[in-house]
Structure formats: C-alpha cells, structure tokens
Amino acid sequence: MDEVRDFMAPDREVGRSADDALPTAGLTDREREILRLASNGRGNDEIAQELTLSVRTVERHLSNAYLKLGISGRSARTAAVARLLREGD
C-alpha cells in the first residue's frame, strides 16, 4: 500500500485546490469505511465480519460506491480503492 501511495503522491498535489470537489465526496461514511478495509486487502466476508454486517450488505455498499464513482467491471474495486487512496482519504 505504501508503494501505491508513493507512486500516486505527485498526482494528489497537482492541480488540486481546497475548493475542488473530490470525486469521493459523495460517498457515505460507511462506503468509505468499507473501501478503506478493502484497501487493506480484506475480502467482503472479512469486512462483513469486522463491521457486523452481512456479506450482501457489504456488496451493496460497494456497488453503491462504484455507481457514485462512475466505475464498473472487474476492476471496479481496484479503481475505487485507488481513487480513495489518491485523495488521501
């Protein structure tokens, strides 16, 4: 994870002002929390267990986050986590 953050660090600072709306600004706190856990390599079942949720609820939060971020497909989870990390969240 540190290597990914270091790689993306220059992008975080270029062209970003305090007033810019972040692409992840529309995510709920729970969606962010689930994406943070996913960024640590946890699977949906592990996330569900840690947050005392059903796996289906975790999947639903992830689907909602992907929709809000405008991403889809097999790489949606990776893209969503990358976006969250890129924004320093």
**pLDDT for res 87:** 81
Cut 0.75: pTM above it: no
| Domains of the chain with bracketed CATH | 2-86 (3.40.50.2300)
Least confident of 11-25, 32-46, 67-81: 11-25
- For the chain, the helix, strand and coil percentages under 3-state DSSP, each to the nearest 5: 70, 0, 30
Residue 26 has pLDDT above 80, yes or no: yes
pLDDT tens by residue, 27-43: 999 999 999 999 999 99
Report which residue type is found at 5: R
